[in-house]
Amino acid sequence: MGEKGKLLLSMAGGVVLTLFLYIILHEGGHTLVAIFCGADIVDFAFFPAHVSWTGGELNIFTLSLADAAGVGLPVLVSVVYILFYSKENQNIFYRTFSFIFSIVPFYSLLAWMILPVMYANGQMPSDDVIHFIEHSGINPWIVCVAAAAFFAGGVVLVWKRGVLRNFIEMYKKQINL
């Protein structure tokens, strides 16, 4: 297999692995909060991705936390991964996966920037973001700005740790072969 084939295979593998991990972490975030609140998990499914539970000591704070944990756990794991990222590792799959796994959780914050604006304008799609706004009572514009700050922080972290730079350099090198 040529270098370009390895790059394409690495990209496809990185996307598939990242999506799998993201779904597990997203639903796992909801699940962990429910378990810590004493709920019994009734269903945890990968496709279609969802978790459901019964019981537990759920209140406004814990419901809001459960809503935010779906995006929070993947972002947290991504941050930890980025902090341990090795700039010296030249492996094509490592650099590709690192780039994809570093950006996907942060790009999921886009929903936390867009949906609060829709909510503030009277549109109410059903999503973790809207549930968070309704459970917490936090102003949608504050949610939007906070998500934008986390997103910007993630972009800066990916840049500072060299994840993006290394991916682009590796990609250019592989394409120019």
pLDDT tens sequence across 48-72: 899 999 999 889 999 999 999 999 9
CB neighbours of 83 closer than 8 A, spacing ≥ 6? 161
Is the entire prediction scored with pTM above 0.85?
A: yes
Instruction: Fill in the amino acid letter for 111.
Output: A
DSSP letters for 150-166 = HHHHHHHHHHHTTHHHH
Show the CA angle centred on residue 38, arms to residues 35 and 40, nearest 5°.
Answer: 70
Per-residue confidence (pLDDT) for residue 164, from 0 to 100: 93
Instruction: Fill in the amino acid letter for 12.
Output: A
**pLDDT, averaged across the chain:** 92
DSSP annotation of 39: P
State how far Cα 130 lies from the chain centre. 17
C-beta separation of 27 from 49 below 8 A: yes
CB neighbours of 82 closer than 8 A, spacing ≥ 6? 98, 102, 157, 158, 161, 163
Show the CA angle centred on residue 17, arms to residues 108 and 161, nearest 5°.
Answer: 65
Q: What is the CA radius of gyration of the chain?
A: 18
Per-residue confidence (pLDDT) for residue 177, from 0 to 100: 61
Q: Over the stretch 120-160, which tens digit does the pLDDT of each residue have?
A: 999 878 899 999 999 999 999 999 999 999 999 999 999 99
Give the C-alpha separation, 68 to 71, whole Å.
6
- Report which of 81, 102, 95, 103 is spatially closest to residue 166, judged by C-alpha positions: 95
